Amino acid sequence: MKRPPLAIVAVCLTTVLFAYACAPRQNDTRLTTARCLKMGGSIAGDIGDGRIYRSDYLCESGERPIGPIEFVEGERIPVEGAVCCGNAE
């Protein structure tokens, strides 16, 4: 059996992955700015030195961040990224 050209395989794979990534999520558990704030957290933006991404980074409360903020369309996006701090559960 003859194999399809690599370019066709690449296009098909890219199409499938793009469709999966863009599909609406039923149980969206991403830690977005809105979700962090709704859970009582606060947003700590990075000033450009990557400090918030270091394993020893602590929020103003002295605790580790809940996690990195994932940005969605329509939200304000800090250029250097951000993490969720505070009382988020």
Cα distances from 8 to residues 2, 38, 64, in angstroms, run 13, 45, 46
Q: How does pLDDT run across 70-84, given as a tens digit for each residue?
A: 988 887 776 789 999
- Amino acid symbol at 59: C
Please report which confidence band the pLDDT of residue 18 belongs to, taking 50, 70 and 90 as the band edges.
Answer: very low
Instruction: Of 7-21, 57-71, 74-88, give the lowest mean pLDDT range.
Output: 7-21
Whether the full predicted model's pTM is greater than 0.85, yes or no, is no
